[in-house]
Amino acid sequence: MAAYNVYDCSIIELDKHHSERKGNLTVVENGVTLPFDVKRVYYLYDVPGGESRGSHAHRELSQLIVAASGSFKVTLDDGNVRRSFFLNRPYQGLLVRPGLWRDLDDFSSGAVCMVLASDIYKADDYIRDYDEFLKFRQNGL
Ligand code: TYD
């Protein structure tokens, strides 16, 4: 299969149940919401102002990134094109396909970055060196 590029990644509107009295509830369900099943959830929080996270690519992992609270920016890079997404709604998620470099920054105070991932944590799925990432892209994945 051809490598994914940044245009294969987009913000998905998630199911939102609104109650005037009780507030909102958003659901992500395997087999319904995403093109992968969720095997792991983790979240970033208490990120100091001005700090950035990410700076890596995943060989196989797909993710949905949600600003569960606050806001931040996600920049995706496929080796040719960079595309930035500003996340600030708990009922939206950025679908990130495998093989793309990502940087997260501009975290607001109190931001919670929730990540729903297609696999458990595997250190060898990470590419943390940008030159190695470019080589990985050139080799056609
Ligand atoms: P890392 O992926 O480097 O964070 P970020 O790219 O968002 O800055 O992860 C930070 C640390 O947490 C690193 O030591 C690996 C560990 N970690 C796990 O043990 N399990 C996980 O599921 C994740 C995402 C990270």
What is the best residue among 38, 53, 65, 113 to mutate for testing ligand 1's pocket, by most ligand atoms within 8 Å of CB?
Answer: 53
Model's pTM, two decimal places? 0.96
In 3D space, the residue among 124, 134, 83, 85 whose CA is nearest the CA of residue 106 turns out to be 85
Place of tokens 């944590």: 121
Q: Whose CA is nearest to atom 3 of ligand 1?
A: 54
pLDDT of 141: 53
Atom of ligand 1 nearest to the CA of 44: 7
pLDDT of 10: 98
Decide: 134 and 78 in contact? Cβ < 8 Å: no
* Residues of the chain falling short of pLDDT 70: 1, 140-141
pLDDT of 140: 62
Q: Whose CA is nearest to atom 9 of ligand 1?
A: 54
